[in-house]
Structure 1
Amino acid sequence: MDPITATDPAVELYRRTVAELTPTAARNPVVELIGSGAAPIDVLRRIAGEEYRIVRSDRRAFAALAARFGGREPAAGLFLGLAAGEGQALGLLEGFAGAVGMDGAALRVYEPRPAAQSYPHHLAWLAQFGTRSAVALALLANFGFWGGYCARVAAALPRHYGLTEAEAAFFAFFAELPPGFERAALSVLREGLDAGEDPVEARRAAVLMQAYESAFWAAVA
């Protein structure tokens, strides 16, 4: 992060929100089970089934955000890039799903668990009704935690479940922030705050998103 901007209101709000969420988000019992190899294969199958719906929903949500806020940079590039990334992730998901016994037909007929789908519903709502600052802060705060979970799962799958690196690539893909994401999202957050958007509402969107992230993991356990 550019040290020149380290004290601006957008960065301060981002840091405060991450600090608030970290005590509960840092511990993920399901990821810990996968990391030790103790999670049953059915947990991995449920992750694949839920993510099949989530990734397709998120791709549409990011496309909607690009249409809604994409009249100028950095929002246009940010949301179009995220939509493209979800499309890439969908292809990688098929490799993971197949490796744990979920072929295309099984993914299509999988019955999602409502709590596991609360995250994409929240993102879809934000795409239609959320402010720029709420969307940007929710993504900034959540992506770091989600990426950490994915890094641990990506490392555990070859070690404990016999998957190849290619079959675990869905999680490796999300383990790192997209190039330029943090800077672009901070710019969108800053523009929203400068335009008078409510920082309390932005924080609330981030808190809810991380709660729905936790609900996903609890639901697949």
Structure 2
Amino acid sequence: MSFADSIVSADIQQLRAYILGHALWRRIEEGTLEPERLRLFALQDWWLVREAYRLDALAIAALPDLEIQDLLIRKLTPKVGGYKLLLRFGEALGLSLADFDAVEPLAGCMALTNFFYWMLAYGAPAEKLASVSASEDIFVQICARIAPALIRHYNLTAKQVEFFSAHDAIGEQVTPVDETLLARYNSPEDQQRITRAIRLSHEYEIMFYDTILTAKVGS
């Protein structure tokens, strides 16, 4: 059970179920996703991962409460260095560092990125926390399912898919912090903002995954 399951409405629960069952993940689990499209995912996710430190730093800077800042720093610490694991995954797929350096975001990837920045710039404190946390939370659940499939169907090693398998340990450390943070915002207005932020985060997440499946790959 994730931090969000106890606070969101039934329609958002359905949205979360849709993300977990998205065709992108189903095709990886079945071994039917083309390697070219898997490489596209690695590159596009790199665009987001590369922004993660900036997003976390902005969240910390935007909240004046020192205790909340301490909690956010605790939340950031387990994620430090995760980008190296994504580079390793990409290299196992045949991507070079030059490929990662040259990546350009597709529309769905940019839309999700811009949503996070908008929330951190203009959202209420509860929205700032919930928007990024919701995306991280559901990706932890996705990773637990697809890491074994990547090994089984794509001839990758456990070390090469550590970007995904490591999220389980990260989630164990991050989820309690999210629960503590969001428990502070328990007014009806805050709960409404949190629910809206989670809904939008998930809808933009779907746009990102849809983009990976529909973008042109290959020649």
Normalising by structure 2, we get a TM-score of 0.84
Give the superposition deviation at 1:85: 4.1
TM-fit CA distance, 1:53: 1.2
Match for residue 209 of structure 2? 217
Partner of 2:16: 22
Aligned match of 2:37 in 28, 39, 43? 43
Query: Per-residue CA shift, 1:3-61, capped at 9, x if unaligned?
Result: xxxxxxx9853475753533423321011001111101111111111121101112211
Q: 1:57 to 1:17 in 2, by over 3 A?
A: farther
| Identical pairs, percent | 23
More deviation, 180-189/166-175: 180-189
1:87-137 deviation digits (Å, cap 9, x = unpaired): 321011110010111111011112221112322221222222222222333
- Structure 1 residues 18 and 184, CA, compared in 2 at 3 Å: closer, same or farther? farther
Structure 2 residue 154 is the aligned partner of structure 1 residue 135: no
Which of these residues, 126, 136, 146, is aligned with residue 153 of structure 1?
146
Any unmatched runs of 5+ in structure 2?
Answer: 214-219
Q: Rate the CA distance shift 1:210–1:18 in 2: closer, same or farther, 3 A.
A: same
Q: 2:189, 2:46 → 1: CA distance? A: 34
**Aligned mates of 1:173, 1:17 — CA distance in 2:** 30
Q: Which position in structure 2 is the counterpart of 1:184?
A: 177
Contact 2:111–2:204, Cα closer than 8 Å, also in 1? yes
Q: Which amino acid aligns with 1:35?
A: E
Change (3 A) 1:209 1:142: same
Change (3 A) 1:41 1:81: farther
Alpha-carbon RMSD = 2.6
Q: Which has the higher contact order (CA 8 A, sep 6+)?
A: 2
User: How many Å separate the matches in 2 of 1:152 and 1:179?
Assistant: 16
Residue 173 of structure 1 corresponds to which residue in structure 2? 166
TM-score by length of 1: 0.83
Seen in structure 2, the aligned counterparts of structure 1 residues 173 and 119 have a Cα distance that, compared at 3 Å, is farther
More divergent stretch after superposition (156-165 vs 61-70):
61-70
Which sections of structure 1, spanning at least 5 residues, go unmatched? Answer: 2-9
> What CA distance in whole angstroms lies between the structure 2 residues aligned with 1:215 and 1:135?
20
